[in-house]
Structure 1
């Protein structure tokens, strides 16, 4: 199977990129183990993954992988970005559930343990449909969308579309619309920008050049991390991201499609900015202030459009839910 001729990616080249990702992340030994998402889960309460039920929600003939952590509502529905999958929320989901709060995490189609159909249209509209399907199928009632990274647009738009079904909104180092202070990570920007599409695709299919890109971006992410943060990143988070690309089928087609749709999504969200003033529910922006790209100015720019937004800055990088899970949960549960 080949994608469209403009994109120029064959299955062989996608597999080549997947192998490259594994090498660049130095996680091959961990990723060679059995995929924990592919078998029944029965974790002990002491496990950082917590206790959850695995479910599958059907949409458009394909299965969306869901983890349902027990507890009372309103349900936290957590949305991942396009390099990640639902496992980036394991630390805070287990803590919230242990405290009695229901949490639902899921993999968007094309990522993690969800189906990755050939020739499927992966974009931000599709991800909104995935979220609606999960919320409706599980009959969740009132929810609290939680958006991180590229999951931010879906979280915000769900809140704008269904204010009566949302009790509050939580945003973690994400983005929404165009802004003078917004900057994507360099590698992501290279893939998003139509002006550099041919260059980025050529580099993605050259092991040496793509290896340089991955290592360059990773080096920037690691600069501000403390030793414990770096250890968690290398031992836990990095393999989660790499597994998206080394498993078969790979998340590479969805990743390329989502980055290619990013500019159009920003433009679409620009047209919804005025709606944000009508969303009166609490909006909590819990931010890792060491993030070089989706930084504090990005958070404050989002917050200024909501009438009831609060900002909390944490000494954390791009993934505060991994760097400071106890603090993130405490602020999520705070009443003010």
Structure 2
């Protein structure tokens, strides 16, 4: 019954469910976050403008090009698709599922403007030998990318997340999620939210954001008008940013990482420093500075908003320009280095 339901859902997208076993050498799904990788890890992007009337079809074509180029398909056309827990509630975690394309198929989904995946829940695929992982990601500027990484076991971001996943097994010491620990430490009722209420609900929003595993979950969390209002930080902003900066060191979903970058960026926009002994002190900027090196890593991995946050931290412009000049394979945002803060949309 379970396999029949899964098979029927996949068939509607033109995918055939196969009974093949999944080799042990394939990267665990929880660690297969190729969007965290950089060109130095071998990352390849195929970008598509989803605003085009045939944007989803163009994405399917881009995914197929990349999949063919990188060797996603086995000789018989088999590859692995990540089946989420929504369709397969009998499993606590998403599972790699062997599938094959039929003559008429789509992996982008049917929701215009976003890559929802063939059955909803996103798009993540891998080769059966574990040598290739390709994901589908929607960006804030209305474009989408098929993002591929070869030899994922060599990519440090994936190795790090895989180690973190392995550390949650019963045999290993439990890992501490610093962001969740920071949420529990703060007395949120002592702060006022930008919406006028107690900031207790902000803690729930932050907890959902740092724990999100899909783009859809991230899209339902809106920090604007709570943590900041039109780039003016609210009373609770410094406390919220201390959580978000702690979260940058965790294995976040790429959409959650991007939202954190934007929240930092907007909070730094119109913050008025307070003079202490003749020295300007900015609580939000100080919080952002605590995550400075992770912001540089994120910028190198292709997150433009991370570079914009760095650019708003006093004294960092020169170092950021030096950093950009030393990138052997700069990400796409470097091409428009003379960007304006007003050009970034939430």
TM bin, normalised by shorter chain, reads: under 0.3
TM-score by length of 2: 0.26
TM-score by length of 1: 0.27
